[in-house]
Amino acid sequence: MPTAEFWYEFASTCSYPAAMRVAELAGSRGVALAWRPFLLGPIFAAQGWRDSPFNIYPAKGRYMWRDMERICDALGLPLKRPDPFPQNSLLAARVALALEGEERANFSRRVYAAEFGEGLTISDRAAIATLLAKADLDPQEVLGRAESDANKALLKAASARAAELGIFGAPCLVTEDGELFWGNDRLEQGLDWAAAKRA
């Protein structure tokens, strides 16, 4: 079965519709998906950005929010801008990484729905605990694992791996042969590529 890695950052707006669409798109093509949470912050910082490029470059930011409105309208997804934007995504990323397989994918979709569908603050420990409980997981147990030194190190390693793969934004798909596809609007192309290489 062909596989692809779905690299996503919880602070990333474009990762929201992508996270909501990608499982079905992969499934319909027979592609197994590995969900890869990571942090863009270190990658942005390495190129001199201390904030979201959508804040640093206001015209780009205005366009992105309008583009998101059109995309979410077309998909029937609610959209509510979280405040502040971008959200601090560290805790959510640690928790996602502490989960495996479908639990990770489900939790990740819940985070995006809360953050960009309801405008909730995902850096809030209680909010994350609530999302875990709704997913029938034990919040204290998962948060404990998420904040272990081992898991923190894993997230650092994942973010370093993202940079090695050439990732500079989110979301990205990476195929088995190392092709990189950036953006919600490249999901179909990337998954078609993943499926064709194994066909």
Site residues (CB under 8 A) for its own copies? 43, 47, 57, 59-60, 62-63, 66-67, 70, 163, 166-169, 179-180, 182, 185-186, 189
Q: Give the number of other Cβ atoms within 10 Å of residue 169's Cβ.
A: 16
Per the rule left: phi > 0, alpha: psi between -120 and 50, beta: everything else, 137 is beta
Stated length of the chain: 199
CB of 168 to its own copies, least distance (A): 4
CB of 110 to its own copies, least distance (A): 29
Of 77 and 163, nearer to its own copies (C-beta) is: 163
Of 47 and 140, nearer to its own copies (C-beta) is: 47
Contacts of 174 (CB under 8 A, 6+ apart): 4, 5, 7, 165, 167, 180, 181
CB of 42 to its own copies, least distance (A): 13
Query: In the numeric block, which tokens belong to residue 140?
Result: 């204290």
Of 63 and 153, nearer to its own copies (C-beta) is: 63
CB of 73 to its own copies, least distance (A): 11
Q: With contact defined as beta carbons under 8 Å apart, do 153 and 147 qualify? A: no
Q: Give the number of other Cβ atoms within 10 Å of residue 145's Cβ.
A: 16
Of 103 and 179, nearer to its own copies (C-beta) is: 179
CB of 69 to its own copies, least distance (A): 11
Q: Give the number of other Cβ atoms within 10 Å of residue 65's Cβ.
A: 13
Of 54 and 107, nearer to its own copies (C-beta) is: 54
